[in-house]
Amino acid sequence: MAIPRPLWGNHLSFVGIMILTAVVISLLFYALLWKAGNLADMPDLRIGFYNFCLWNEDTGSLQCHHFPELEAWGVSQIGLALARLGVYRALVLTLFVPLPLLLAWCNGDKGEWQLAVGFLAMSSVLLAGGLGLFLSYVWKWVSLSVLGPGFLALSLAQVLLILLLMATVMFPPRAKKDKCQLLDLSKGLRDCEG
């Protein structure tokens, strides 16, 4: 029984999609967990999803501010909660992407592939919305020059999520092959019918 080898192009596109997924997950873990969500982390300024610390000239150290004071400065508690929910939910949804992709690739099921596409689309929207909302509240205190590696990782993850979404739409899984197509034609089709 001879089994024809599949084209390498089909496998390369799937491997590329899985590698991109792993890179996005790594970037989100780095920014949100390793860097604790801090987008600006300098000796005199630390602003992130859970930190809002500014330099205090009187004490000569960082002073962290909390919500009654932050609301007086124009930072909405609900807005910041929505920003946190968006970026951290994007991480959670992205964690669910590899399994449906793998199952869809192995089974040739387009429904599982569409589930992965849905997870990627929601992750992209949530990450962009959460990051944009957060930056709109803290832009008074940060500039592009003080944003650190956490912000760079989230921005790169956003770009790669969009690229990954386009790749999954353009390269759906191959159709599941029938067993009859895999048999050697020299033996005839009688073997697969019985």
pLDDT tens by residue, 139-161: 888 777 778 899 999 999 999 99
Sequence ranges of the domains in the chain: 9-37+75-172
Predicted pLDDT at 56 = 78
CA distances from 59 to 62, 64, 79, 103, 144 (A): 8, 12, 30, 57, 27
Predicted pLDDT at 9 = 56
Q: Which has more pLDDT, 177 or 126? A: 126
Predicted pLDDT at 6 = 52
Continuous H helices in the chain: 8-29, 67-72, 77-95, 98-107, 110-138, 149-170, 179-182, 190-193
**Mean pLDDT of the chain, nearest integer:** 81
Predicted pLDDT at 138 = 84
pTM tops 0.85, yes or no: no
Banded pLDDT at 176 (limits 50, 70, 90)? low
Predicted pLDDT at 183 = 43
Number of neighbours of residue 113 by Cβ within 10 angstroms: 21
Predicted pLDDT at 107 = 83
